[in-house]
Structure 1
Amino acid sequence: METHPGYYTELVEKSTGKYSLATEEIERDLHRSMPEHPAFQNELGIAALRRVLTAYAFRNPTIGYCQAMNIVTSVLLLYGSEEEAFWLLVALCERMLPDYYNTRVVGALVDQGIFEELTRDFLPQLSEKMQDLGVISSISLSWFLTLFLSVMPFESAVVIVDCFFYEGIKVILQVALAVLDANMEQLLGCSDEGEAMTVLGRYLDNVVNKQSVSPPIPHLHALLTSGDDPPVEVDIFELLKVSYEKFSSLRAEDIEQMRFKQRLKVIQSLEDTAKRSVVRAIPVDIGFSIEELEDLYMVFKVTAQSQGRTPS
């Protein structure tokens, strides 16, 4: 921000009144960002959120806008000016959570792979069960993309956001492992994904911040998933303490190396899926076998890339 004086203001001026798919999606999500918070129950807060999201979409059209950016940005606006929130969003999208906020959420899929690997290493007893239930993908997209803001009471989630800006994705992975560890017995007894997500959802709904001086903000998800049993409150600071004590061997350098390896796997998997979709779309009576069509696809792809074009 200090090295780009006036940059945000200029972006706001250039993007105001401009229409795109991103601005259409932003308008649709503005009132769904943090509807329970007073700051976004009036046009003043909504207008600020609109300006920051639109300015970022204008700065980085490759990303544009992705759901979850609105939730994170609304929290950034509560703790800083519009310009500060904008630059924190830049850091988040372009450095701290690379490739998270795009149409294929590649970055989130990469960290999902890392989380699966860490679950095997740290919680082997639970790992196979989680794979069978198919819960890991749901966790990575709802917990990681919003930094727990969409699944935990506001006063508790912002503590995790604080830690995230200090130490990066390491904290999110640690807390996610700690949540699984705390619910291991119940998760091992679950019969399907819905039951497992209900167990985890109820636990996260009752993570409280006892040090908060502001009145608690009602959590809509908690009201929808409340069970018959009285909730057991979990102190956010105790959860963080446990996450550091049990999973302190996680290092930022190791995570970046794991990200590199997982990224290759994710890209290959996405390409394989795209290749199969193209092959299935071709009529079957053209005289080629499936294997020959796959080979042709790869030839066309390599040729297009060598010419600086995107294969379609």
Structure 2
Amino acid sequence: MAASGAQERLEDNRGYYQSLLAMEHDTRLEESIHTDMHRTFPDNVLFRGKAAPSLQRALFNVLLAYGHHNPAVGYCQGMNFIAGYLVIITKDEEKSFWLMDALLGRMLPDFYHPAMMGLKTDLEVLGELVKAKAPAVGQLMAQYPGIWTLLVSRWFICLYIDTLPIETVLRVWDCLFYEGSKVLFRAALTLIIHHQPEILRARSLSDVCECFRQITCGAFTLDCHAFTQKIFTEPGILSMATIDKLREKCRQRIVAEESGRP
């Protein structure tokens, strides 16, 4: 709460969260949230409808309030996992709401917008970083256009929830709130660089996909402390200035492609 600025926002806006829940609700927003409720951590006892107490109501409230707070985003798939994770950690709706605001509003803008330009851009940026830091992998991936969207969209959109072990995700999130979005690239690059030999043995697209499913499991990611240390050493120097420069380049390329310009 302190590192992300969420605590300050909460204290400066007392009563705001409750006012969002008290307002007249958009029925389409409510319906889209309800659609994903049963898909959110279905194996977690705290999110089962008959659990006592169940966190489903808290999750619904946080998503509904955020949808009204940020109508340009409303509700997008993936947000349910973010909100659910925050509710599990904080056990507090209002804190979860302001942490969502920090993540989606400031740290990861356009990730969850309907056009998902931020996510598309960052997947392209990851591809550029892999070319620079693991060129052999970059060369392999060049054979498969759009491969990063297929392989790692879920890593980024769910912020590694359901990808890495829970204790490891918590460490990555600590770093994310403290250092910002470049940590997402550090974690991805560490997984790729560390497992470069296995990736390079892939002989087909299905081999690549299976390899990327496997590299998030096992002893390397289970040792949360060692993995967290690795994300700050294996990828080497990675400045925010470099990422911002790549984001600008990749965004321009995506816009040109989507508009049909050469």
Answer whether TM exceeds 0.5 for this pair.
yes
1:88-107 residue pairs with structure 2 within 5 A?
A: 88-107=99-118
In structure 2, runs of 5+ residues without a counterpart are 1-9
Q: Does 1:19 align with 2:30?
A: no
When Rg is computed on C-alpha atoms for both structures, the one with the higher figure is 1
TM-score, with structure 2 as normaliser? 0.87
- 1:227 matched residue in structure 2: none
Q: Distance in 2 between matches of 1:172 and 1:107?
A: 13
Deviations along 1:100-139, whole A, 9 cap, x unmatched?
1022211011111111111111001110102224531223
Alpha-carbon separation, structure 1, partners of 2:11 and 2:142: 46
In structure 2, distance between residues paired with 1:265 and 1:133: 18
Q: Does 1:246 align with 2:214?
A: no
Could you tell me the percent identity over the aligned residues? Answer: 28
Per the alignment, in what secondary structure is the counterpart of residue 202 of structure 2?
coil
Where does the alignment leave 5 or more consecutive residues of structure 1 unmatched? 209-232, 276-312
Distance 1:248 1:91 in 2: 27
Are 2:195 and 1:183 equivalent residues in the alignment? yes
TM-score normalized with structure 1 length:
0.74
The match for 1:8 is 17
**Matched letter for residue 87 of structure 2:** L
* Shift, 1:93, TM fit: 1.2
Matched, 1:269 2:257: yes
Do the aligned partners of 1:153 and 1:206 also contact (CA within 8 Å) in 2?
Answer: no
Q: Is the 8 A contact 1:149 1:157 kept in 2?
A: yes
Residue 41 of structure 2 corresponds to residue 34 of structure 1: yes
Q: Partner letter of residue 253 of structure 2?
A: K
| Aligned residue type for 1:72 | I
Q: Structure 1 residue 265: deviation in Å?
A: 1.9
Give, in angstroms, the shift of residue 15 of structure 1.
4.6
Match among 235, 246, 262 for residue 258 of structure 1: 246
Map 1:162-177 to 2 at 5 A.
162-177=174-189
Aligned counterpart in structure 2 of residue 77 of structure 1, from 74, 84, 87: 87
SS, match of residue 215 in structure 2: helix
Deviation, structure 1 residue 207: 5.3
Structure with more relative contact order (C-alpha pairs < 8 Å, separation 6 or more) = 2
Change (3 A) 1:176 1:51: same
